[in-house]
Amino acid sequence: MNRAGQFFRALSARIRAEDERYIAAHLSPKGQALFFAMDPADQYHALNVAYTAETLADGHRSALDREFLIRCALLHDVGRVRGDLGIMGKVLAVLVHSFFPEASMRWARRGWHLMYVYYHHPEIGAEKLMAAGFREEAAVVRLHHQPPQDGDSLVLRILRKADEMN
């Protein structure tokens, strides 16, 4: 059901003027360039992850750098750019992964771009963030789809939860 909700939200995804102000308030011009290079559905998703992460962070005010969390949330999927997957490509990738998990990983290793981006967008995004000077954000983005570890930062834990919820 969550995937179906994501699909329908992606179909109607629109960045509003207040969303653009939010993005501009939290991302530098380099960050905005990376953000707006994503597919509009990914932009909408990342924005909702940021809003959710802020809400989840409310109980951790003293132990958390909220601006850093928001930047990580807005930038967590920059490894997927407009033209990589699109809505239908993501649907296909999820279905292929769900029905053929081992084969889909093999296909990704053999160069099927759709599956490669599906599996490796955190690493691709981290490299883009490093190149743009977002070193700390890159470290979080690189790990956002990895299984939780005991030493994970609070920012990474909140980002994962917000991403799962959206």
Question: pLDDT for 152-162, tens place per residue?
Answer: 999 999 999 99
Split into its structural domains, the chain has a count of 1
For residues 141 and 128, the answer to whether their CB atoms sit within 8 Å is no
The better pLDDT of the pair 97, 5 is held by: 97
Count of residues making up the chain: 166
Instruction: Report DSSP state, residue 80.
Output: S
The domain of 29 spans 2-165
Paired tokens of 62: 């003293």
Q: Please report which confidence band the pLDDT of residue 4 belongs to, taking 50, 70 and 90 as the band edges.
A: low
Q: Please report which confidence band the pLDDT of residue 35 belongs to, taking 50, 70 and 90 as the band edges.
A: very high
For residues 79 and 126, the answer to whether their CB atoms sit within 8 Å is yes
**Which CATH number goes with the domain that contains 147?**
1.10.3210
Question: pLDDT for 45-96, tens place per residue?
Answer: 999 999 999 999 988 877 789 999 999 999 999 999 998 887 888 888 989 9
